[in-house]
Chains A and B, each alone.
Chain A
Amino acid sequence: MWAFIHKLGSPKWFYTISAKLQPWFWAAAVLLLVVGSLWGLAFAPADYQQGNSFRIIYVHVPAAFLAQSIFISMAVSGLVFMVWKIKVADMAAAVMAPLGAAMTFVALFSGAVWGVPTWGTWWMWDARLTSMLILLFLYLGVIALRGAFTSRDSASRAASVLAMVGVINIPIIKYSVDWWYTLHQPASFTLTSRPAMPTEMWLPLVIMVLGFYSFFIALTLMRTRSEILRREANKRWVQDLVKGQVEETR
Protein backbone atom coordinates (compact mmCIF):
# COMPACT_ATOMS: atom_id res chain seq x y z
CA MET A 1 0.00 0.00 0.00
CA TRP A 2 2.63 2.53 1.07
CA ALA A 3 4.95 1.38 -1.67
CA PHE A 4 2.19 2.02 -4.19
CA ILE A 5 1.55 5.53 -2.87
CA HIS A 6 5.24 6.36 -2.94
CA LYS A 7 5.49 5.09 -6.48
CA LEU A 8 2.47 7.22 -7.41
CA GLY A 9 4.36 10.17 -5.99
CA SER A 10 7.18 9.71 -8.46
CA PRO A 11 6.50 11.91 -11.50
CA LYS A 12 8.01 9.39 -13.91
CA TRP A 13 5.89 6.52 -12.65
CA PHE A 14 2.76 8.71 -12.67
CA TYR A 15 3.54 9.78 -16.23
CA THR A 16 3.74 6.15 -17.37
CA ILE A 17 0.67 4.84 -15.56
CA SER A 18 -1.53 7.82 -16.47
CA ALA A 19 -0.77 7.22 -20.17
CA LYS A 20 -2.46 3.83 -19.81
CA LEU A 21 -5.45 5.09 -17.80
CA GLN A 22 -6.17 8.25 -19.74
CA PRO A 23 -7.81 6.79 -22.92
CA TRP A 24 -10.28 4.78 -20.82
CA PHE A 25 -11.50 7.85 -18.97
CA TRP A 26 -11.75 9.86 -22.19
CA ALA A 27 -13.79 7.09 -23.82
CA ALA A 28 -16.06 6.79 -20.78
CA ALA A 29 -16.52 10.57 -20.63
CA VAL A 30 -17.47 10.91 -24.30
CA LEU A 31 -19.82 7.90 -24.21
CA LEU A 32 -21.56 8.90 -20.98
CA LEU A 33 -21.88 12.58 -21.89
CA VAL A 34 -23.31 11.86 -25.35
CA VAL A 35 -25.79 9.26 -24.06
CA GLY A 36 -26.69 11.31 -21.00
CA SER A 37 -27.29 14.60 -22.78
CA LEU A 38 -29.29 13.03 -25.63
CA TRP A 39 -31.41 11.08 -23.17
CA GLY A 40 -31.80 13.95 -20.74
CA LEU A 41 -32.44 16.71 -23.26
CA ALA A 42 -34.54 14.84 -25.82
CA PHE A 43 -36.11 11.72 -24.35
CA ALA A 44 -36.66 12.23 -20.61
CA PRO A 45 -40.23 13.40 -19.85
CA ALA A 46 -40.90 17.07 -19.05
CA ASP A 47 -41.66 18.12 -15.48
CA TYR A 48 -45.32 18.60 -14.48
CA GLN A 49 -44.74 22.16 -13.24
CA GLN A 50 -41.63 23.48 -14.94
CA GLY A 51 -42.09 21.91 -18.34
CA ASN A 52 -38.87 21.69 -20.30
CA SER A 53 -36.91 24.21 -18.27
CA PHE A 54 -36.26 21.49 -15.67
CA ARG A 55 -33.81 19.89 -18.16
CA ILE A 56 -31.17 22.33 -17.00
CA ILE A 57 -30.78 19.90 -14.07
CA TYR A 58 -28.76 17.65 -16.40
CA VAL A 59 -26.02 20.28 -16.56
CA HIS A 60 -26.57 22.19 -13.33
CA VAL A 61 -26.42 19.28 -10.86
CA PRO A 62 -23.33 17.52 -12.32
CA ALA A 63 -21.51 20.87 -12.57
CA ALA A 64 -22.34 21.72 -8.96
CA PHE A 65 -21.21 18.23 -7.81
CA LEU A 66 -17.95 18.62 -9.67
CA ALA A 67 -17.38 22.18 -8.41
CA GLN A 68 -17.44 20.89 -4.84
CA SER A 69 -15.60 17.60 -5.48
CA ILE A 70 -12.77 19.35 -7.29
CA PHE A 71 -12.29 21.72 -4.38
CA ILE A 72 -12.12 18.79 -1.96
CA SER A 73 -9.62 17.01 -4.24
CA MET A 74 -7.56 20.21 -4.37
CA ALA A 75 -7.53 20.47 -0.57
CA VAL A 76 -6.56 16.80 -0.15
CA SER A 77 -3.79 17.21 -2.75
CA GLY A 78 -2.66 20.31 -0.87
CA LEU A 79 -2.48 18.33 2.38
CA VAL A 80 -0.53 15.50 0.71
CA PHE A 81 1.87 18.04 -0.77
CA MET A 82 2.37 19.93 2.51
CA VAL A 83 2.86 16.88 4.73
CA TRP A 84 4.49 14.29 2.47
CA LYS A 85 6.13 16.71 0.01
CA ILE A 86 4.77 14.79 -2.99
CA LYS A 87 5.19 17.09 -5.96
CA VAL A 88 2.73 15.29 -8.24
CA ALA A 89 -0.03 16.14 -5.74
CA ASP A 90 0.77 19.83 -6.11
CA MET A 91 0.85 19.58 -9.90
CA ALA A 92 -2.57 17.90 -9.88
CA ALA A 93 -3.96 20.58 -7.54
CA ALA A 94 -2.60 23.29 -9.84
CA VAL A 95 -4.26 21.91 -12.97
CA MET A 96 -7.59 21.18 -11.23
CA ALA A 97 -8.27 24.77 -10.15
CA PRO A 98 -9.31 26.27 -13.52
CA LEU A 99 -11.72 23.38 -14.23
CA GLY A 100 -13.21 23.77 -10.75
CA ALA A 101 -13.70 27.50 -11.29
CA ALA A 102 -15.32 26.83 -14.65
CA MET A 103 -17.70 24.24 -13.15
CA THR A 104 -18.68 26.65 -10.36
CA PHE A 105 -19.41 29.28 -12.96
CA VAL A 106 -21.49 26.82 -15.02
CA ALA A 107 -23.50 25.86 -11.93
CA LEU A 108 -24.13 29.51 -11.02
CA PHE A 109 -24.97 30.51 -14.59
CA SER A 110 -27.29 27.58 -15.34
CA GLY A 111 -28.99 28.15 -11.98
CA ALA A 112 -29.58 31.80 -12.86
CA VAL A 113 -31.02 30.88 -16.26
CA TRP A 114 -33.34 28.38 -14.56
CA GLY A 115 -34.21 30.85 -11.81
CA VAL A 116 -35.73 33.44 -14.14
CA PRO A 117 -38.73 31.34 -15.30
CA THR A 118 -39.01 29.25 -12.14
CA TRP A 119 -38.45 31.61 -9.22
CA GLY A 120 -39.03 34.89 -10.98
CA THR A 121 -35.51 36.14 -10.28
CA TRP A 122 -32.05 35.20 -11.46
CA TRP A 123 -30.26 35.98 -8.23
CA MET A 124 -31.12 36.08 -4.56
CA TRP A 125 -28.69 36.43 -1.67
CA ASP A 126 -29.77 33.20 -0.07
CA ALA A 127 -27.32 30.93 1.74
CA ARG A 128 -26.89 28.38 -1.08
CA LEU A 129 -26.33 30.90 -3.85
CA THR A 130 -24.03 33.08 -1.75
CA SER A 131 -21.87 30.18 -0.51
CA MET A 132 -21.54 28.97 -4.11
CA LEU A 133 -20.41 32.45 -5.16
CA ILE A 134 -17.83 32.35 -2.35
CA LEU A 135 -16.61 29.02 -3.78
CA LEU A 136 -16.03 30.74 -7.12
CA PHE A 137 -14.02 33.48 -5.37
CA LEU A 138 -12.00 30.83 -3.49
CA TYR A 139 -11.12 29.16 -6.78
CA LEU A 140 -10.11 32.49 -8.28
CA GLY A 141 -8.10 33.19 -5.12
CA VAL A 142 -6.24 29.87 -5.41
CA ILE A 143 -5.48 30.52 -9.09
CA ALA A 144 -4.34 34.08 -8.36
CA LEU A 145 -2.13 32.99 -5.43
CA ARG A 146 -0.30 30.55 -7.69
CA GLY A 147 0.43 33.37 -10.09
CA ALA A 148 1.41 35.87 -7.43
CA PHE A 149 4.70 34.32 -6.29
CA THR A 150 7.95 34.21 -8.19
CA SER A 151 9.09 31.13 -6.28
CA ARG A 152 7.10 28.04 -7.26
CA ASP A 153 7.46 26.48 -3.81
CA SER A 154 5.95 29.51 -2.02
CA ALA A 155 3.16 29.66 -4.57
CA SER A 156 2.34 25.99 -4.08
CA ARG A 157 2.33 26.28 -0.30
CA ALA A 158 0.15 29.39 -0.28
CA ALA A 159 -2.35 27.84 -2.70
CA SER A 160 -2.42 24.62 -0.64
CA VAL A 161 -3.17 26.52 2.57
CA LEU A 162 -5.98 28.48 0.94
CA ALA A 163 -7.47 25.28 -0.50
CA MET A 164 -7.31 23.50 2.86
CA VAL A 165 -8.90 26.37 4.77
CA GLY A 166 -11.42 27.04 2.00
CA VAL A 167 -12.70 23.48 2.19
CA ILE A 168 -14.70 24.63 5.24
CA ASN A 169 -17.05 26.23 2.71
CA ILE A 170 -18.02 22.83 1.23
CA PRO A 171 -20.18 21.56 4.13
CA ILE A 172 -21.70 25.03 4.33
CA ILE A 173 -22.76 24.79 0.67
CA LYS A 174 -24.07 21.27 1.14
CA TYR A 175 -26.11 21.91 4.28
CA SER A 176 -27.09 25.55 3.62
CA VAL A 177 -30.53 24.46 2.38
CA ASP A 178 -31.12 22.49 5.58
CA TRP A 179 -29.70 24.91 8.12
CA TRP A 180 -31.39 28.08 6.91
CA TYR A 181 -34.47 29.21 5.05
CA THR A 182 -33.34 29.54 1.44
CA LEU A 183 -34.94 30.11 -1.92
CA HIS A 184 -32.98 27.17 -3.29
CA GLN A 185 -34.72 23.82 -2.78
CA PRO A 186 -33.11 20.92 -0.87
CA ALA A 187 -31.14 18.32 -2.84
CA SER A 188 -33.12 16.31 -5.40
CA PHE A 189 -30.26 13.96 -6.04
CA THR A 190 -28.03 12.46 -3.39
CA LEU A 191 -25.97 9.32 -3.20
CA THR A 192 -27.59 8.21 0.03
CA SER A 193 -31.36 8.56 -0.28
CA ARG A 194 -34.15 7.67 -2.65
CA PRO A 195 -34.23 10.14 -5.57
CA ALA A 196 -37.04 12.72 -5.59
CA MET A 197 -37.87 11.89 -9.21
CA PRO A 198 -38.89 8.84 -11.24
CA THR A 199 -36.28 6.56 -12.83
CA GLU A 200 -36.73 7.85 -16.38
CA MET A 201 -35.65 11.31 -15.19
CA TRP A 202 -33.11 10.10 -12.68
CA LEU A 203 -31.13 7.67 -14.82
CA PRO A 204 -29.94 10.23 -17.41
CA LEU A 205 -28.90 12.43 -14.49
CA VAL A 206 -26.78 9.62 -13.03
CA ILE A 207 -25.20 9.10 -16.46
CA MET A 208 -24.43 12.81 -16.75
CA VAL A 209 -22.90 12.92 -13.26
CA LEU A 210 -20.67 9.92 -14.06
CA GLY A 211 -19.78 11.50 -17.41
CA PHE A 212 -18.75 14.76 -15.76
CA TYR A 213 -16.57 12.87 -13.26
CA SER A 214 -14.91 10.83 -16.02
CA PHE A 215 -14.24 14.04 -17.91
CA PHE A 216 -12.70 15.60 -14.81
CA ILE A 217 -10.42 12.59 -14.21
CA ALA A 218 -9.38 12.37 -17.87
CA LEU A 219 -8.67 16.09 -18.11
CA THR A 220 -6.75 16.12 -14.82
CA LEU A 221 -4.58 13.18 -15.92
CA MET A 222 -3.88 14.86 -19.24
CA ARG A 223 -3.04 18.25 -17.78
CA THR A 224 -0.98 16.78 -14.94
CA ARG A 225 1.10 14.96 -17.56
CA SER A 226 1.91 18.19 -19.36
CA GLU A 227 2.59 19.89 -16.01
CA ILE A 228 5.05 17.07 -15.16
CA LEU A 229 6.88 17.60 -18.47
CA ARG A 230 7.00 21.36 -17.87
CA ARG A 231 8.29 21.17 -14.30
CA GLU A 232 10.68 18.25 -14.82
CA ALA A 233 12.02 19.57 -18.12
CA ASN A 234 15.62 19.50 -16.89
CA LYS A 235 15.37 15.92 -15.59
CA ARG A 236 17.16 13.17 -17.43
CA TRP A 237 14.13 10.94 -18.09
CA VAL A 238 12.10 13.80 -19.61
CA GLN A 239 14.95 14.79 -21.91
CA ASP A 240 15.41 11.17 -23.00
CA LEU A 241 11.67 10.90 -23.62
CA VAL A 242 11.54 14.02 -25.73
CA LYS A 243 14.68 13.03 -27.63
CA GLY A 244 13.14 9.65 -28.38
CA GLN A 245 9.95 11.20 -29.69
CA VAL A 246 11.78 13.73 -31.83
CA GLU A 247 13.82 10.97 -33.44
CA GLU A 248 10.70 8.93 -34.06
CA THR A 249 9.09 11.70 -36.08
CA ARG A 250 12.22 12.23 -38.15
Chain B
Amino acid sequence: MTPKRKQKLFVILGLVSLAAIAVGLTLYALRANINLFFSPVQIAQGDAPMERQIRAGGMVKEGSVSRDPESLDVEFTVTDYVDDLEVYYSGILPDLFREGQGVVVVGELQADGRLYADKVLARHDENYMPPEVAQALEEAGYSPADYQAKAAEVGKRLDEEGVPQASEY
Protein backbone atom coordinates (compact mmCIF):
# COMPACT_ATOMS: atom_id res chain seq x y z
CA MET B 1 0.00 0.00 0.00
CA THR B 2 1.44 3.37 -0.96
CA PRO B 3 1.77 6.00 1.80
CA LYS B 4 -0.83 8.14 0.04
CA ARG B 5 -3.40 5.35 0.02
CA LYS B 6 -2.64 4.50 3.60
CA GLN B 7 -3.22 8.10 4.59
CA LYS B 8 -6.49 8.16 2.71
CA LEU B 9 -7.64 4.95 4.39
CA PHE B 10 -6.89 6.39 7.83
CA VAL B 11 -8.66 9.66 7.04
CA ILE B 12 -11.80 7.77 5.93
CA LEU B 13 -11.75 5.38 8.89
CA GLY B 14 -11.17 8.32 11.24
CA LEU B 15 -14.06 10.31 9.83
CA VAL B 16 -16.42 7.33 9.97
CA SER B 17 -15.47 6.56 13.58
CA LEU B 18 -15.97 10.19 14.57
CA ALA B 19 -19.40 10.17 12.95
CA ALA B 20 -20.18 6.89 14.73
CA ILE B 21 -19.20 8.40 18.08
CA ALA B 22 -21.36 11.46 17.41
CA VAL B 23 -24.37 9.29 16.52
CA GLY B 24 -23.72 7.04 19.51
CA LEU B 25 -23.63 9.96 21.95
CA THR B 26 -26.79 11.44 20.45
CA LEU B 27 -28.66 8.17 20.76
CA TYR B 28 -27.36 7.74 24.31
CA ALA B 29 -28.62 11.21 25.25
CA LEU B 30 -32.00 10.51 23.66
CA ARG B 31 -32.35 6.99 25.04
CA ALA B 32 -35.38 7.86 27.18
CA ASN B 33 -37.20 9.16 24.09
CA ILE B 34 -36.23 6.26 21.88
CA ASN B 35 -37.66 3.69 24.27
CA LEU B 36 -41.09 2.95 22.88
CA PHE B 37 -42.74 2.44 26.25
CA PHE B 38 -42.44 2.74 30.02
CA SER B 39 -42.24 -0.46 32.00
CA PRO B 40 -44.40 -0.85 35.14
CA VAL B 41 -41.24 -0.42 37.27
CA GLN B 42 -40.59 2.96 35.73
CA ILE B 43 -44.21 3.98 36.20
CA ALA B 44 -44.14 2.88 39.85
CA GLN B 45 -40.99 4.97 40.33
CA GLY B 46 -42.86 7.97 38.96
CA ASP B 47 -40.83 8.34 35.76
CA ALA B 48 -43.91 8.57 33.54
CA PRO B 49 -45.89 11.82 33.28
CA MET B 50 -49.49 11.85 34.53
CA GLU B 51 -52.50 12.74 32.36
CA ARG B 52 -50.47 12.83 29.17
CA GLN B 53 -50.50 10.25 26.46
CA ILE B 54 -47.82 7.67 27.17
CA ARG B 55 -47.10 4.09 26.19
CA ALA B 56 -46.59 1.35 28.73
CA GLY B 57 -45.44 -2.17 28.02
CA GLY B 58 -45.10 -5.52 29.74
CA MET B 59 -46.82 -8.85 30.07
CA VAL B 60 -50.54 -9.33 30.65
CA LYS B 61 -50.66 -10.87 34.13
CA GLU B 62 -52.10 -14.39 34.28
CA GLY B 63 -55.64 -14.38 35.58
CA SER B 64 -55.95 -10.59 35.57
CA VAL B 65 -58.17 -10.08 32.49
CA SER B 66 -61.77 -9.31 33.37
CA ARG B 67 -64.23 -8.48 30.60
CA ASP B 68 -67.54 -6.70 31.08
CA PRO B 69 -70.11 -9.08 29.53
CA GLU B 70 -72.36 -6.15 28.51
CA SER B 71 -69.80 -4.08 26.61
CA LEU B 72 -66.30 -4.06 25.14
CA ASP B 73 -64.83 -2.81 28.42
CA VAL B 74 -61.92 -4.82 29.68
CA GLU B 75 -59.58 -4.48 32.63
CA PHE B 76 -56.24 -6.22 33.00
CA THR B 77 -52.92 -5.90 34.74
CA VAL B 78 -49.67 -5.32 32.89
CA THR B 79 -46.67 -6.58 34.77
CA ASP B 80 -42.91 -6.85 34.43
CA TYR B 81 -42.97 -9.32 37.34
CA VAL B 82 -41.66 -6.60 39.64
CA ASP B 83 -44.42 -4.00 39.59
CA ASP B 84 -47.96 -4.09 38.27
CA LEU B 85 -49.99 -1.55 36.33
CA GLU B 86 -53.76 -1.71 36.09
CA VAL B 87 -55.13 -0.93 32.64
CA TYR B 88 -58.66 -0.05 31.66
CA TYR B 89 -59.62 -0.30 28.00
CA SER B 90 -62.75 -0.16 25.92
CA GLY B 91 -62.48 -1.49 22.39
CA ILE B 92 -61.43 -4.42 20.25
CA LEU B 93 -58.29 -6.22 21.35
CA PRO B 94 -55.76 -7.60 18.82
CA ASP B 95 -55.94 -11.34 18.02
CA LEU B 96 -52.72 -12.07 19.82
CA PHE B 97 -53.90 -10.50 23.08
CA ARG B 98 -53.98 -13.09 25.86
CA GLU B 99 -52.74 -13.67 29.36
CA GLY B 100 -48.97 -14.10 29.49
CA GLN B 101 -48.59 -12.22 26.19
CA GLY B 102 -46.51 -9.06 25.77
CA VAL B 103 -48.50 -5.88 25.10
CA VAL B 104 -47.94 -2.18 24.56
CA VAL B 105 -50.82 0.02 25.74
CA VAL B 106 -51.26 3.64 24.67
CA GLY B 107 -53.16 5.91 27.01
CA GLU B 108 -53.14 8.28 29.98
CA LEU B 109 -52.17 7.63 33.56
CA GLN B 110 -54.83 8.96 35.90
CA ALA B 111 -54.58 9.99 39.55
CA ASP B 112 -56.03 6.65 40.66
CA GLY B 113 -52.87 4.99 39.34
CA ARG B 114 -54.66 3.25 36.49
CA LEU B 115 -53.87 3.65 32.85
CA TYR B 116 -56.85 4.44 30.62
CA ALA B 117 -55.86 3.02 27.27
CA ASP B 118 -56.95 4.28 23.84
CA LYS B 119 -55.14 1.49 22.05
CA VAL B 120 -53.77 -1.93 22.93
CA LEU B 121 -51.05 -3.48 20.75
CA ALA B 122 -49.89 -7.06 21.06
CA ARG B 123 -46.18 -7.66 21.18
CA HIS B 124 -44.96 -10.82 19.59
CA ASP B 125 -41.95 -12.63 20.98
CA GLU B 126 -39.20 -14.16 18.86
CA ASN B 127 -40.41 -17.73 19.35
CA TYR B 128 -42.30 -19.58 16.66
CA MET B 129 -43.72 -23.07 16.95
CA PRO B 130 -46.40 -25.28 15.42
CA PRO B 131 -49.65 -25.69 17.42
CA GLU B 132 -48.92 -29.35 18.24
CA VAL B 133 -45.57 -28.46 19.80
CA ALA B 134 -47.17 -25.67 21.84
CA GLN B 135 -49.83 -28.09 23.04
CA ALA B 136 -47.27 -30.73 23.95
CA LEU B 137 -45.29 -28.16 25.91
CA GLU B 138 -48.39 -27.08 27.75
CA GLU B 139 -49.27 -30.66 28.60
CA ALA B 140 -45.76 -31.13 29.92
CA GLY B 141 -46.39 -28.23 32.25
CA TYR B 142 -44.65 -25.39 30.44
CA SER B 143 -46.33 -22.27 29.16
CA PRO B 144 -45.80 -22.20 25.39
CA ALA B 145 -43.19 -19.50 25.06
CA ASP B 146 -41.97 -20.21 28.58
CA TYR B 147 -42.57 -16.61 29.47
CA GLN B 148 -43.04 -17.22 33.14
CA ALA B 149 -39.68 -18.91 33.62
CA LYS B 150 -37.93 -16.24 31.56
CA ALA B 151 -39.71 -13.41 33.36
CA ALA B 152 -39.11 -14.87 36.82
CA GLU B 153 -35.38 -14.86 36.09
CA VAL B 154 -35.57 -11.24 35.00
CA GLY B 155 -37.56 -10.35 38.12
CA LYS B 156 -34.95 -11.94 40.34
CA ARG B 157 -32.16 -10.11 38.54
CA LEU B 158 -34.03 -6.83 38.86
CA ASP B 159 -34.53 -7.37 42.57
CA GLU B 160 -30.80 -7.89 42.99
CA GLU B 161 -29.66 -5.06 40.75
CA GLY B 162 -32.59 -2.71 40.89
CA VAL B 163 -32.11 -1.59 37.27
CA PRO B 164 -34.69 -2.29 34.57
CA GLN B 165 -33.02 -3.63 31.44
CA ALA B 166 -34.65 -3.05 28.09
CA SER B 167 -33.21 -6.15 26.53
CA GLU B 168 -34.94 -8.59 28.82
CA TYR B 169 -38.38 -8.43 27.29
Contacts and interface: CB of A to CB of B under 8 A. Distances in A.
Interface of A: 45-50, 54, 57, 79, 82-84, 117-121, 124-127, 164-165, 167-168, 172, 178-183, 185-188, 196-198, 200-201
12 contacts: A118-B122, A119-B96, A120-B119, A120-B120, A120-B121, A120-B122, A127-B34, A172-B23, A181-B36, A183-B121, A187-B126, A198-B129
Interface stretch (B8-16, B43-51, B64-72, B151-159): B8-16
Given A120-B94, A168-B16, A197-B127, A179 B166 contact: yes
Nearest to A116: B94
The prevalent SS among residues of B at the interface is mixed
Nearest to B10: A83
Contacts of A82: 8, 12
The prevalent SS among residues of A at the interface is loop
Given A83-B12, A118-B122, A119-B123, A168 B36 contact: no
Please name the 4 residue pairs, one residue from A and one from B, whose CB atoms are nearest each other, closest first: A45-B130, A120-B94, A48-B134, A197-B128
Interface in B76-127: 93-96, 104, 119-127
Given A48-B129, A83-B5, A185 B124 contact: yes
Interface string B32-57: 00111101000000000000000001
B96 A50 contact: yes
A200 B130 CA distance: 9
A185 B123 contact: yes
A144 B23 CA distance: 23
A119 B122 contact: yes
B149 interface: no
A168 B19 contact: yes
A168 B19 CA distance: 8
Contacts of A124: 36, 104, 121
B124 A119 contact: yes
Contact of A183 (B36, B93, B167): B36
Contacts of A117: 94-95
B40 to A, nearest CB: 12
Most chain B CB atoms below 10 A, which of A48, A57, A118, A127: A48
B131 A45 contact: yes
B25 interface: no
Most chain A CB atoms below 10 A, which of B36, B39, B104, B167: B36
Nearest to B131: A48
B31 to A, nearest CB: 7
A182 B135 CA distance: 28
A179 B30 CA distance: 12
A48 B35 contact: no
Most chain A CB atoms below 10 A, which of B8, B19, B104: B104
